[in-house]
Amino acid sequence: MSQAFDVVVIGAGPGGYIAAIRAAQLGFKVACIDEWKNAAGGPAPGGTCTNVGCIPSKALLQSSEHFEHANHHFADHGISTGKVTMDVAKMVGRKDTVVKQNNDGILYLFKKNKVTFFHGRGSFVAAADGAYQIKVAGAAEEVITGKQVVVATGSNARALPGVPFDEELILSNDGALRIGAVPKKLALIGSGVIGLEMGSVWRRLGAEVTILEGLPTFLGAVDEQIAKEAKKAFDKQGLKIELGVKVGEIKTGKKGVNVAYTNAKGEAVSLDADKLIVSIGRVPNTIGLNAEGVGLQLDERGAIVVDGDCKTNLPGVWAVGDVVRGPMLAHKAEEEGVAVAERIAGQHGHVNFNTIPWVIYTSPEIAWVGRTEQQLKADGVAYKAGTFPFLANGRARALGDTTGMVKFLADAKTDEILGVHIVGPMASELISEAVVAMEFKASAEDIARICHAHPSLSEATKEAALAVDKRTLNF
Ligand SMILES: Cc1cc2nc3c(=O)[nH]c(=O)nc-3n(C[C@H](O)[C@H](O)[C@H](O)COP(=O)(O)OP(=O)(O)OC[C@H]3O[C@@H](n4cnc5c(N)ncnc54)[C@H](O)[C@@H]3O)c2cc1C
C-alpha cells in the first residue's frame, strides 16, 4: 500500500522546501522529494541555491573579500599583517561546512514541520483516483501518491553548444565553486550575475580574470547610470570585461583552455587560460520527471507552462521557481512556493513581480527594485530622478568604502517610487527599505520624511529620496 499525501513536492530547493513547509503549516500531510546527494551520498536538500548557488558563492565572496581587505585595506587602518597568504583548500572547506549547515537546517525544518522527506528522484507515474502516483527512485524504489503536486525541480547551467562541462577545465557554477588552487589565468564567458561574482572571487585571490560578453552593453538589465558606475569600479579593480565579443572555437589541452574570439573591433583574439567558467544562463530542469508521460505542458525553453497562479495544465499540479517563467532567483522561488501552498489551502497567495529585488554581490554590490530609467523612458512615463553618492555619507567614509550611489526614480506627478537602484556598500541590505516602500506604494517624500539612524548607509537612501525634490541636506 503506497503512502498517501495531500501534497507531494518534487524538489527541495528554495521553491520546493518552502512550499512543503508552508503546506505543512497549513495542516496538510506533506512529502518532499529531493535527489541531491552530498559527497558521502547522503541527502543535501536546498537545491542549487544551497549546494552550488547563492550560499556557497556568498561564502567564497566573503573569504576572498577578507583576503582583499587584509592585502589592500588593513594598512589604511594602521594594521600591518606581513605577507598574507590564502589556503584555498581551507576556504573551500569552510564553504562546504556552510553548505552542510544549511542542508542540515532544512532536514531539521522538515522534522519540525512534520514534512516527510524522501531522498531520490521523483517522477510522475500516472493520475488515478483524484491523485497522482509519484515514483521515488532512491536507495529503494517506492510509489507514493499526492492529491496535489508541486514541481520545483529548478534549473541547470547552460553549456555552450558542443562544449560540455568537464568541471576540470570547462566549469559550470558547480566546478567554479570548488576550484582547488588559484588559477593564474581565468576566463569566463558571460558577464551576468554569476560571471561577475565568480570572476570577483578569483580575481581577489590573484587570478588574472577576463570576462567575455557577447552583448554590446554591460549589465543591460541594470539602470544605465548604475551599470556605468559599477563598470568603472570593476575596471579599477582589474577585472577585465570585454563586451560585444563573438566566441569561436574552444580547445582544451594539457596546459588549459584556449578561447578563440572576435572582439568588438572585429579583431581575431586567442585567449589562453588555466580554466574557463561558462556562465551564459540556466535552463529549466525537468529531466527524469516523466512530464511527457502525464502530459505536463512545457514551453519551447523546456520550462513548465504555468498561469499567473503557478497552475500547470494538469489539475492539481503546480510548478514554482526556476522551472517556470520569471526571474531565476531564490527569493522569487520561495514566494511562489508560499503562494502555491496558500492557494492549495483556498487562500489568496500573492507574488508581486514588480517588487522582486535583484542583487549582485560583487564589490561594490549592485541592487535594485522596480523599473530602470531606460525602462521608464521606453514606457513613456514622466519621472523625477534623485541620486546621492556614498562619497557624501559619513558611515561610508568611516567604513572606507565610498564607491557608488543610491538612485531614486519617482513618478513626476504623484511622487510614487517607481524604482530604486543602488551600487555601493551593503546595497543588498539597503534595497529592502526600497522594497518595503514600493510594496506600500510609498512616495519619495515618505522616505525623505522618515528618521534614519546616524551614521548609517541608509541615510544615503533618505538623501536620494530628498534628491528627487532637489533638497539633499548633505550634498
Ligand atoms: C552560482 C549561483 C549563484 C546564485 N546566487 C543567487 C543569489 O545570490 N540570490 C538568488 O536569489 N539566486 C541566486 N542564484 C539562483 C538560485 O540558486 C535559484 O534561483 C534557486 O535555487 C531556484 O530555486 P528552485 O527551488 O526553483 O530550484 P533549485 O534550487 O534548482 O532546486 C531544485 C531541486 O530539485 C531537485 N530535483 C530536480 N529534479 C528532481 C526530481 N525529478 N526528483 C527529485 N528532486 C529533483 C534538485 O536536485 C534540486 O535540489 C544563484 C545561482 C547560481 C548558480
For 16-42, how does the pLDDT look when each residue is reduced to its tens digit (9 = 90+)? 999 999 999 999 999 999 999 999 999
The full set of domains in the chain, from first to last, is 4-157+283-351 (3.50.50.60), 170-280 (3.50.50.60), 355-468 (3.30.390.30)
Distance of CA 162 to the CA centre of its chain: 26
Distance 442 CA to ligand 1 centre (A): 32
Distance 334 CA to ligand 1 centre (A): 11
Pocket test for ligand 1, best of 52, 61, 134, 153 (most atoms within 8 A of CB): 153
**Residue 242 is assigned to a ligand binding site:** no
Could you give the CA distance from residue 9 to residue 18 in angstroms, rounded to a whole number? Answer: 10
Give residue 129's pLDDT: 85
Task: List pLDDT tens digits, range 441-463.
Answer: 999 999 999 999 999 999 999 99
Q: Whose CA is nearest to atom 44 of ligand 1?
A: 34
Pocket test for ligand 1, best of 33, 48, 155 (most atoms within 8 A of CB): 48
Where does ligand 1 bind, in terms of residues with CB under 6 Å? Answer: 10-16, 33-36, 47-49, 52-54, 57, 121-123, 152-155, 173, 194, 285, 288-289, 321-323, 328-331, 333, 361
Could you give the CA distance from residue 393 to residue 68 in angstroms, rounded to a whole number? Answer: 23
Distance 54 CA to ligand 1 centre (A): 9
**Residue 336 is assigned to a ligand binding site:** no
Which atom belonging to ligand 1 lies closest to the Cα atom of 176? 1
Task: List pLDDT tens digits, range 195-228.
Answer: 999 999 999 999 999 999 999 999 999 999 999 9
| One-character DSSP codes across 32-93 | EEE--B-TTS-B-TTHHHHHHSHHHHHHHHHHHHHHHHHHHTGGGGT---SS----HHHHHH
Q: Whose CA is nearest to atom 45 of ligand 1?
A: 11
Could you give the CA distance from residue 308 to residue 306 in angstroms, rounded to a whole number? Answer: 7
Distance 475 CA to ligand 1 centre (A): 42
Distance 322 CA to ligand 1 centre (A): 7
Cis geometry, peptide bond prior to residue 216 (ω within 30 degrees of 0):
no
Averaged pLDDT of the chain = 97
Distance 151 CA to ligand 1 centre (A): 12
- Mean pLDDT on 376-397: 98
**Residue 199 is assigned to a ligand binding site:** no
Residue 187 in contact with residue 273, Cβ under 8 Å?
A: yes
Distance 17 CA to ligand 1 centre (A): 11
CA-based angle 209:213:219, to the nearest 5? 100
Global pTM?
0.97
Q: Given pLDDT bands bounded at 50, 70 and 90, which one contains residue 174?
A: very high
- Mean pLDDT on 242-261: 96
Which atom belonging to ligand 1 lies closest to the Cα atom of 36? 47
**Residue 122 is assigned to a ligand binding site:** yes
DSSP bridge pairs for 383: 411
Give me the half-sphere count of Cα atoms (radius 13 Å) on the Cβ side of residue 158.
14
Q: Which of 437, 376, 167 has its CA nearest to residue 277? A: 167
- What is the share, in percent, of the chain residues with pLDDT greater than 70? 100
Pairing mode, strands 417-424 and 405-411: antiparallel
Taking the alpha carbons at both ends of the chain, their separation in whole angstroms is: 72
**Residue 213 is assigned to a ligand binding site:** yes
Pocket test for ligand 1, best of 49, 106, 125 (most atoms within 8 A of CB): 49
Q: Which of 405, 350, 389 has its CA nearest to residue 223? A: 405
Give residue 84's pLDDT: 95
Which atom belonging to ligand 1 lies closest to the Cα atom of 120? 43
Task: List pLDDT tens digits, range 116-139.
Answer: 999 999 999 999 888 999 999 999
User: How far is residue 155 from each of residues 15, 179, 254, 270, 363, measured CA to CA in Å?
Assistant: 12, 22, 31, 32, 27
Q: Whose CA is nearest to atom 6 of ligand 1?
A: 54
Q: Which of 250, 326, 234, 231 has its CA nearest to residue 282? A: 326
Question: Which of 72, 73, 350, 454 is flagged as catalytic?
Answer: 454
Task: List pLDDT tens digits, range 312-321.
Answer: 999 999 999 9
Q: Whose CA is nearest to atom 9 of ligand 1?
A: 54
Distance of CA 246 to the CA centre of its chain: 26
Q: Which of 233, 239, 168, 256 has its CA nearest to residue 203? A: 239
Handedness of CA 8, 10, 12, 16 (dihedral sign): negative
Indicate whether 263 pLDDT > 70.
yes
Could you give the CA distance from residue 35 to residue 22 in angstroms, rounded to a whole number? Answer: 21
Q: Whose CA is nearest to atom 48 of ligand 1?
A: 47
Give residue 1's pLDDT: 65
**Residue 329 is assigned to a ligand binding site:** yes
Q: Given pLDDT bands bounded at 50, 70 and 90, which one contains residue 87?
A: very high
Q: Given pLDDT bands bounded at 50, 70 and 90, which one contains residue 249?
A: very high
Distance 288 CA to ligand 1 centre (A): 16
Give residue 371's pLDDT: 98
Pairing mode, strands 155-157 and 282-284: antiparallel
**Residue 245 is assigned to a ligand binding site:** no
Which atom belonging to ligand 1 lies closest to the Cα atom of 15? 25
**Residue 73 is assigned to a ligand binding site:** no
Give residue 112's pLDDT: 98
* 454: annotated active-site residue: yes
Pairing mode, strands 30-34 and 4-10: parallel
Tell the residue number behind the cell numbers 513618478, with chain if given: 411
